[in-house]
Structure 1
Amino acid sequence: MKLNSFLKNSIITIMVISLITTPSYACTGITLLSKDGGVVVARTVEWALNDAQHNQLLIVPRNKEFKAQTPEGTNGKNWKGKYGFVTLTAYGQPYGPDGMNEEGLYVGVYYLPGFAQYAEYDKSNASKSMSVGDLMQWMLSSFKTVDEAIANLNNVIVVNVENKEFGGAALPFHFKIVDQSGNSKIIEIVNKGEVKIYEPYLGVITNSPTYDWHLINQRNYLNLSNTPNQQKVFGNYELNPLGGGSGLIGLPGDFTPPSRFVRAAAFTASCRPLSTSTEAVIESFRILDNFNIPLGAQMPNENIPGDIVSATQITSSSDLKEKIYYFHTMWNRQIRKIDLKLIDFSTIKEQIINDDAKKENEIKDVTPIQSKKKAKK
């Protein structure tokens, strides 16, 4: 076998094995600001193993008693929630990709395989220990600002808790938290419990590697611009750009986390001026349409699960100023919303909202119907 043919076949084999054995959790997050002081945090959620039921949203009331998990059970940190919140879920668990509380604090988790590494569990620290899902609920239920959450991180220890109900996948995550002032941080737990905090670059987050790597990689794309390339003359030839967008030639278009990070940063940096937070919500969905992943683009045909139609299972957009949570799903791309201002979190019962019961995209027929008159004799 020729060397080139051998290398080609080896690369294809490695790619196929990677696609089969690696869960696809290729989430992309952005933040947009509006002239009226709006802060909108939006993201896609990809999960290509099977239907994780990300379309089911949980409403959590104030004053809920929480018991955190450890490898030994629910003997971790206990706390009483001060704030109510809405959160996406996964596999029927009380946490999921993201959520927003009644004070406008947003917490989102993003997959960080190969790099996230939680603290080793120590029984003597059980009262401070919690799972990564508990950390999300703790922040949403306990704080109204990013600074408050960051200041209290040293009061908890995040340990690895295997959850077989979560699709059988490991749960290595990093976090993006944002409040209604626009203050935002990226939280990563690495090296067996070391907590690292980063300022988000243009509000963008994806997945592995760690955030500092993405910031260094961004230097490779300083040439990108929304200004079209200019005409150049070579001897008797005058060469002009073939069309709009020529300044973005070289923008990576694949679905890997590094490429999505660069692409999300470019679209955020070039976003048009937005007057209101509602306008920013609509624009966030428009931008994130560029990150929808068709299922077949990441999985060989023989490994495509039969219970989902897209790797992008849900896209959400949180208006922190107006405290409205928007979303659309792979089953129904109509944008829906939950207005947290209209919920009395002191009296509402904990409940699941599932607006995808039919699992059917709504199509409106606008065909003009003209009545047929009988022909005159």
Structure 2
Amino acid sequence: MRKLVLNLLLGASLAFAGAPAEACTRILYETGDPSYIVGRTMDWMVDPHTDLWAFPRGMSRDGGVADAPLKWAAKHGSVISSFYNLASVDGINDAGLVANVLYLVEADYGDATVSKKPKLSIGAWAQYVLDHFATVAEAVKALEKEPFVLVAPDLPGGHKAAGHLSLADASGDSAIFEYIGGKLVIHHGPQYRVMTNSPPYAQQLAINAYWKTVGGLEFLPGTARASDRFARMSWNLDAAPKVKGDPVLATAEVFSLVRALSVPLGLADPKEPNIASTIWRTVSDANAKRYFFESSYSPSIFWVDLDKVLTATGGKPAKLDLKGHPTIFGEASDKFAPAEPFKFIGQ
């Protein structure tokens, strides 16, 4: 077992050394009530010009590609964080389903050109799920049938568009979706509470099992590599108290956990191009349907109550423009303005 894990650690290090510089972390935290809160960091080598968007029920969508795009109408409203205004990479819908897309350099979606299935841009993957499903179980049942093929054009700067998707809901259910070697792999269950990046999730779990035998009070790996962050966050999450009866403190607890795994803004090391600054953090309260946002460029936190913003925007797409990194405090539903939705990467 020890030899296997050492080989996995070496493989993870080699894979991560060649990866583009994204190193996000996602957690699923259980309060003492119980209720469930998702926290994540977005780490990237440059500012991806994120805005927040409110999308209503009934909105017409397509898969973001010119050839045989998947088409649908949204069954749920959502609030999302965009990535270059080319992708929905993080968000929550009006049923309390939370979706997060993190980088995975090993992702392989297969050859979309030979598939006869409808096509979906990687930038629309999370949005498709938020638009369609109320629970993780519902999403797993539908997506395991593979109703579409994913198309992944390069990101700005020529970086490979490659990611895996995590879901969580108000019951505490969780799922991780990865495409490895062109095949969909799903890890489904409330035990899947932490996700980072490379290596693929099954290998990540094996590496983490080794660190559990070491014991977090004795030693934890300290680098910014994905497998090290996975081990540290797993230990931290297990050790963190379950906050009961105080949703403000529970939210603060999740922010403290994801900040502990954040990379300082502006940090760069030419010898370690895979390490990138944390650009922003989100916290999604699945039960309260509340979405918190914290930019590393601004000393403030704001949040959006989904029921409030989807009512305030009158059933039309709306954007909270974060250009220039404005300082925003408190509930921010009134700061969204009607806007034409962005086009998913590939259009």
> Could you say which TM-score interval applies, normalised by the shorter chain?
0.7 to 0.9
Q: 1:175 to 1:358 in 2, by over 3 A?
A: closer
Pair 1:324–1:214, CA change in 2 (3 A): same
1:130 corresponds to: 120
- AA aligned to 1:67 is D
- Give the counterpart of 2:310 among 328, 344, 350: 344
Question: Match for 1:293: what amino acid?
Answer: V
For 1:297 and 1:253, locate their aligned partners in 2 and report how far apart those are by CA, in whole Å: 16
Which of the two has greater strand per residue? 2
Change in CA separation of 1:295 and 1:330 when aligned onto 2, cut-off 3 Å: closer
Pick from 61, 67, 71 the counterpart of residue 66 of structure 1: 61
Give the alignment partner of residue 35 of structure 1, picking from 17, 32, 35. 32
Answering whether residue 71 of structure 2 is matched by residue 78 of structure 1, we say yes
1:51 maps to 47
Structure 1 position 268, deviation (Å)? 0.2
1:200/1:357 Cα in 2 relative to 1: closer, same or farther (>3 Å)? same
Deviation at 1:160, TM superposition (A): 2.7
- Kindly provide the amino acid, as one letter, of the partner of residue 342 in structure 1: K
Give the structure 2 partner of residue 335 of structure 1. Answer: 301
Q: Conserved in 1, the CA contact under 8 Å of 2:40 and 2:283?
A: yes
CA drift of 1:296 comes to: 5.4
Question: Equivalents in 2 of 1:148, 1:361: separation in Å?
Answer: 35
1:314 and 2:280 are equivalent in the alignment: yes
Q: How many residues align?
A: 312
In the TM superposition, 1:248-327 aligns within 5 A as: 248-275=217-244, 276-295=246-265, 297-300=267-270, 311-327=277-293
The alignment yields a C-alpha RMSD, in angstroms, of 2.8
User: Is there any run of 5+ residues in structure 1 with no aligned partner, and where?
Assistant: 1-13, 226-246, 304-309, 363-377
**Which residue of 93, 108, 121 maps to 1:101?**
93
Residue 61 to residue 74, structure 1, CA distance change in 2 (3 Å):
farther
Offset at 1:224? 5.0
Q: 3-state SS of the aligned residue for 1:333?
A: coil
Cα distance in 1 between the residues matched to 2:148 and 2:261:
34
Q: Distance in 1 between matches of 2:188 and 2:171?
A: 17
CA deviation map 1:191-247 (0-9, x unaligned): 11333334464510000101111111122223455xxxxxxxxxxxxxxxxxxxxx6
SS in 1 for 2:130: helix
Pairing 1:211–2:180 present: no
TM-score if structure 1 supplies the norm length?
Answer: 0.75
Which structure's CA Rg is the greater one?
Answer: 1
Tell me by how many angstroms 1:63 deviates.
0.6
d(CA) in 2 for partners of 1:160, 1:202: 26
Deviation at 1:76, TM superposition (A): 1.1
Distance 1:140 1:146 in 2: 10
Q: Which amino acid aligns with 1:286?
A: S
Q: TM-score, normalised by structure 2?
A: 0.82
C-alpha deviations, 1:62-87, integer Å up to 9, x for none?
111111134xx163111111111011
1-structure distance, mates of 2:285, 2:241: 18
Q: Using a 3 Å threshold, how does the CA distance of structure 1 residues 185 and 338 change in structure 2: closer, same or farther?
A: same
* Unaligned runs of at least 5 residues, structure 2: 1-12, 330-347
The structural deviation recorded for 1:360 is 6.5
Amino acid aligned to 2:176: I
- Distance in 1, Cα, partners of 2:115 & 2:21: 36
How far apart, in 1, do the equivalents of 2:283 and 2:206 lie?
28
Query: Following TM superposition, by how much is the alpha carbon of 1:277 offset from its aligned partner in structure 2, in angstroms?
Result: 3.6
* 8 Å CA contact retained: 2:97, 2:168: yes
